[in-house]
């Protein structure tokens, strides 16, 4: 059962928080984060980090767009996300970044496996998100439960992604793991 949040369920103490939502592929993490964000009144910002590289991805993106009502604004930004956030989120009560995994993929296309550059870009993104007056939901895949990848690039991606997830989870006011559509609270600083 996926928990639905009503708009009147949001209190002032929820404003300006960072909520990190992780889970495996198709675990329900994006749906959960979107429902939480939609509990806020007013304008909402969806930050799309995916690049459309084929027809199947285009269909996925279109499906996600149809699931959002007219309160949602959309910012499409894969690599240089941090500098665009403040202007895009102006007047929004909640921001949903979906997802950190695809952002890292795009970032690695620019920075390769340079851990220092990736860490700096991640720190910049985190700081930009924390500076927003809106509550921010960051969705990210949990990749650490699988087998060790056989090739170096995949191992580097997994390692950099794990470090990025750790940084965001540690900075978050709330961190959740979604498994089979059910949220498990990992951390809550209420």
For the segment 24-74, what is each residue's pLDDT rounded down to a tens digit?
989 999 999 999 999 999 999 999 998 888 898 888 888 888 888 999 999
24's tokens: 């495996």
Q: Which of 17, 31, 43, 64 is catalytic?
A: 64
Is 5 part of a structural domain of the chain? no
Is 8 part of a structural domain of the chain? no
Domain that holds residue 18: 14-188
Is 140 part of a structural domain of the chain? yes
Q: Choose between 190 and 135: higher pLDDT.
A: 135
Q: According to the model, what pLDDT value does residue 16 have?
A: 80
Is 1 part of a structural domain of the chain? no
Pairing of β 182-188 and β 174-179:
antiparallel
Question: What is the tally of structural domains in the chain?
Answer: 1
Is 32 part of a structural domain of the chain? yes
For the segment 67-105, what is each residue's pLDDT rounded down to a tens digit?
889 999 999 987 889 999 999 999 999 999 999 999 999
Q: What is the CATH number of the domain that holds 28?
A: 3.40.50.300
The count of other CB atoms within 10 Å of the CB of residue 36 is 24
- Is 161 catalytic? The answer is no
Is 20 part of a structural domain of the chain? yes
Q: Is the confidence at residue 160, as pLDDT, over 60?
A: yes
Is 3 part of a structural domain of the chain? no
Is 102 part of a structural domain of the chain? yes
Pairing of β 135-141 and β 92-98:
parallel
| Beta-strand runs (E) in 85-173 | 92-98, 135-141
Q: According to the model, what pLDDT value does residue 167 have?
A: 97
Environment class of 84 (CB within 10 Å of its CB; exposed 0-12, middle 13-18, buried 19+):
middle
Q: Is the confidence at residue 125, as pLDDT, over 70?
A: yes
Helix (H) or strand (E) holding 130: helix 115-130
Q: Is the confidence at residue 117, as pLDDT, over 50?
A: yes
Q: Give bridge partners of residue 136 from the DSSP assignment.
A: 18, 95
Environment class of 153 (CB within 10 Å of its CB; exposed 0-12, middle 13-18, buried 19+):
exposed
């Amino acid at each position: 059962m996926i928990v639905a949040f009503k708009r009147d369920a949001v209190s002032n103490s929820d404003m300006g928080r960072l909520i990190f939502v992780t889970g495996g592929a198709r675990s329900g993490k994006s749906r959960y984060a979107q429902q939480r964000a939609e509990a806020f009144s007013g304008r909402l910002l969806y930050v799309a980090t995916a690049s459309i590289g084929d027809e199947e991805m285009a269909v996925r993106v279109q499906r996600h767009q149809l699931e959002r009502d007219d309160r949602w604004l959309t910012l499409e930004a894969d690599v240089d996300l941090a500098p665009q956030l403040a202007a895009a989120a102006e007047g929004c009560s909640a921001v949903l970044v979906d997802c950190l995994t695809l952002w890292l993929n795009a970032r690695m296309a620019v920075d390769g496996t340079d851990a220092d550059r990736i860490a700096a870009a991640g720190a910049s993104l985190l700081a930009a998100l924390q500076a927003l007056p809106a509550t921010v939901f960051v969705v990210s895949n949990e990749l650490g439960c699988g087998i060790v990848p056989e090739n170096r690039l995949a191992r580097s991606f997994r390692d950099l992604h794990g470090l990025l997830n750790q940084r965001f989870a540690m900075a978050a006011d709330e961190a959740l793991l979604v498994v089979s559509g059910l949220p498990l609270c990992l951390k809550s600083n209420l």
